[in-house]
Structure 1
Amino acid sequence: MAHHVIGLVTFRSCAANKMMRLREFSIHDWLGPASRTLPTTDLYFLNACHHWLDNSPFKSGPIRRIGANSFVSGDVTIVSRKERKAIVDKLLRRKDRRLFYIIDDNLWAAEEDATLPEDYRRRLIELRDGQHRALCKRADTIIVSTKPLADIYTAQGHKVVQLSPYWSDPIADHSHFEDLNTGARLEIGYLGSGTHAADRAFVVSVFEKLSAQGLDARLTMIGTRGVPDRIVNDARFRSLKNLRWPLYRKRLAKLRFHFLLYPILPSMFNQSRSINKVIEHAIVGGVGIYSDSWFCAEEIRDNAAGVVRTNDADLWTDTIMEHKNLIETGFLRSVSDFAKSQNQQNMEKQLRFWQSVLKL
């Protein structure tokens, strides 16, 4: 009997200790940081490396998350774009760790690029002159998303590695295009945020020209920033709520478009935009129309991965009005095949790089 009592007490003691350890963590610790994940974190690190992430007490792994956008593994620390001040301050005091810093925007464009909204320019400058400066000074390696960014950081004397974005979301099929044969409305989207002020104005101009020509089409944009009231109140316009990145991704998987507009008007900030949107457009099943001023334009044209046009709203309007040749099965397959191939290559390169860095 005594043996059983001791066993019961021991069991209860172990269970109590385990519960105490669990109580040290809250749902916020497991879900909170993940809910504040930035696109940069997912696209250049976490999408490819999530299977190595420690999710104790549910799953063990060699990479431990210490913030929404910061991770440690062995003697390596990874910070993506920005993090809570207390976490960054603590990381910067750890001189025994190698720091890898990920950044995917040209922060120096803030003062030079008048196309950016004023509040966004202020945020970029605050990041650049604050955390970004401290992290770059401490970093062993800076990971960037494009060659223009690589050139900037290399010129500053940093060790730089260029990685392209990887989406773990599935590429959509094109079954929704079949509805066009039975008179369905053309779904047009622009997935850039309100920070793309000049580009959004270009998209609005194209939509107004399409409406003037009587095309049965709906335009979807994220938010209404910079969109005139006459467009906001138009039944053929749909505004999607601005969401945090994890929720944005969940919503994206449910959306479908026929065409996605992505004008890259010449500006210092736009010069560094990655090929990211080409893959994102394939996730929502649409054909992208892109500016020939974008450095990705030649690759898109050569691989029939979308439509490339000069930055002329009339020309973009004509392209959409005469869209029948762009929704042929062969062209649609070419668009999705390029996105799948590019995405796969990006994932493989990321895995090789991070596996080498983390010695996994």
Structure 2
Amino acid sequence: MLRRVFTRALTTLNSPTADLYFADSCADWLRRGLVTRYAPTVFASATVRLVIRHDGRAGRASLRPRHVYLIDDAIDLDGADAALSRYWRFKLDNVERAAAARFLPGAAAAVVSSPALEGMIRARASGLDVRVLNPYWKTEFSSLSHHRADGPFRVAFLGSQVHGPDFAPLATMLRGFLDDWPEAELIVGGGHGGQVGHARARDLGAMGWRDWRAALPALQPHVALYPLAETPFNAARSLNKLIEHAVAGAAGLYARAWPGAALAVEAGAGLALGPDPAEWRAALDRLAANPLETREMAKAGAALAARLNDAEAQRRLWAELLEIDDGAQGVFGSD
């Protein structure tokens, strides 16, 4: 009973993980009744139940003979949550870790969002069928029309509430950057804009997932920042930011400790930086002074994201794991 109370209190009525890893790519299955959604993070076919992170608000009607579990956070890695706030550590303990303890034993398969999480789950459940899956955004990528010679140079931090400790080390540097570049603007997600405290720092506040996804294309940043503290939790993060930055139309500056940074550099789609704020300042100065390079980097980012943003790969995996015989494979729609 206490577990259910915590889950309801600490989770929302819409789930980015559920949308990005299942509901958007398989929306037509939901419309056609091949899959039923019983809760924000619980779905079921005729024979298999899918639990994404936790089973909050799902009733007994969702139970099936078999179940599959999806997790996209590092719940086990030693010291994984060291850079998280007290609230998020509490949520990990009382929602995600508690759910994994219930659903991994006896699962027909587990689906994870990064190779690091694959190793984590295999260490916990030897012999379990574990698959790695990238997220899928149904939102169109930016046309990059905002990358032009005139107008402000917009830098964005597209993090959520959980990313406050990751963003904090850059706050002083960003204030100095705005002072030195009068044509620059800063957009800050997750309610962290107050850390910068500058007239040209726009604080978007804390936004729910659906509102955030709707607002993102209109932000039109030229450069997006993805700083991460060097912890196992962050090293296990998915490649989602590569796709999200393409939706926004931004070149990416990424923490070198994150595996996605190497992919971005290899594709010419971003820069990989260490924890020293001076490195981030130098990268911002370089891109602010070279709008053509910034646009080409954003263009390469869109090409990389297009390769990762694969709805059909998701559908093939879920058709197998949820035992769905779909006569309309290759046809998908929005919810």
Q: Scaled by the length of structure 1, what TM-score is found?
A: 0.79
Secondary structure at 2:38's aligned position in 1?
Answer: strand
Q: 2:42 aligns with which of 44, 51, 70?
A: 70
The answer to whether the aligner puts 1:83 opposite 2:50 as a matched pair is: no
**Mapped partners of 2:97, 2:300: distance in 1:** 43
Structure 2 residues without counterparts, runs of 5 or longer: 1-11, 326-335
Q: Is the 8 A contact 1:278 1:339 kept in 2?
A: yes
Q: Is the 8 A contact 2:158 2:190 kept in 1?
A: no
**Aligned-partner residue type, residue 327 of structure 1:** L
Match in the other structure for 1:333: 299
Match in the other structure for 2:152: 185
Pair 1:209–1:48, CA change in 2 (3 A): same
Question: For each residue in 1:1-53, what CA deviation from the matched residue of structure 2 results, as whole angstroms up to 9, or x when unmatched?
Answer: xxxxxxxxxxxxxxxxxxxxxxxxxxxxxxxxxx8221110111112111111
1:1-360 equivalences in 2 (<5 Å): 36-54=13-31, 60-84=32-56, 87=59, 91=62, 94=63, 96-108=64-76, 113-157=81-125, 158-178=128-148, 181-182=149-150, 184-225=151-192, 227-228=194-195, 231-232=196-197, 234-323=198-287, 324-325=289-290, 327-328=292-293, 330-343=296-309, 346-357=310-321, 358-360=323-325
Q: Is the 8 A contact 2:53 2:70 kept in 1?
A: yes
Q: Is the 8 A contact 2:193 2:201 kept in 1?
A: no
How much does 1:78 deviate? 0.9
**Mapped partners of 1:319, 1:326: distance in 2:** 13
Structure 1 window deviating more from structure 2 (106-115 vs 122-131): it is 106-115
How much does 1:129 deviate? 4.2
**Mapped partners of 1:191, 1:110: distance in 2:** 27
Pair 1:224–1:74, CA change in 2 (3 A): closer
Pairs aligned (count): 309
Pair 1:67–1:110, CA change in 2 (3 A): farther
Pair 1:53–1:259, CA change in 2 (3 A): same
Question: For each residue in 1:307-357, what CA deviation from the matched residue of structure 2 results, as whole angstroms up to 9, or x when unmatched?
Answer: 2222221121111112144634544322211111221xx323212111222
How much does 1:134 deviate? 0.9
Q: Is the 8 A contact 2:190 2:207 kept in 1?
A: no
Question: For each residue in 1:65-95, what CA deviation from the matched residue of structure 2 results, as whole angstroms up to 9, or x when unmatched?
Answer: 11122111110111111232552x665xx4x
**Based on CA coordinates, which of the two structures has the bigger radius of gyration?**
1
Q: Scaled by the length of structure 2, what TM-score is found?
A: 0.85
Give the RMSD, CA atoms, in angstroms.
2.2
Greater share of residues in helix: 1
Structure 1 residues without counterparts, runs of 5 or longer: 1-34, 55-59
Q: Is the 8 A contact 1:204 1:227 kept in 2?
A: no
**Mapped partners of 1:137, 1:198: distance in 2:** 33
How much does 1:110 deviate? 8.7
**Aligned-partner residue type, residue 210 of structure 1:** F
Pair 1:309–1:165, CA change in 2 (3 A): same
% of aligned pairs identical?
28
Secondary structure at 2:82's aligned position in 1?
Answer: coil
Larger RCO, structure (CA 8 Å, separation 6 or more): 2
Q: Is the 8 A contact 2:39 2:58 kept in 1?
A: no
How much does 1:256 deviate? 1.0
How much does 1:205 deviate? 3.1
Match in the other structure for 1:3: none
